[in-house]
Amino acid sequence: MKITVDEDKCCGAGSCVLAAPDVFDQRDEDGVVVLLDPAPAGHLHTAVREAAAVCPAAAITLDEQG
């Protein structure tokens, strides 16, 4: 799995951080998503899929083949 985030789309809701804190964080100054791990280990994939699904701005893109 490979993850990309569109910082311009991010609205700073923090849903991704709650769903997958090992993979996502937020910048202190504006709450925009920070991708900690663009290719997470298999045991994190379910949480990452959840994070992408709950993102209100659809700022997270997953490539399941990556």
**Tens of pLDDT, residues 5-54:** 999 999 999 999 999 999 999 999 999 999 999 999 999 999 999 999 99
Contact 18, 26 (CB under 8 A): no
pLDDT in the model for residue 59: 98
Contact 63, 1 (CB under 8 A): yes
CA distance 20 to 24: 6
Q: Sign (positive/negative) of CA torsion 47, 50, 55, 59? A: positive
- CA-nearest of 29, 20, 18, 14 to 59 is 14
Count up the domains in the chain and report the number: 1
State which residues form the domain around 58: 2-63
CATH classification at residue 14:
3.30.70.20
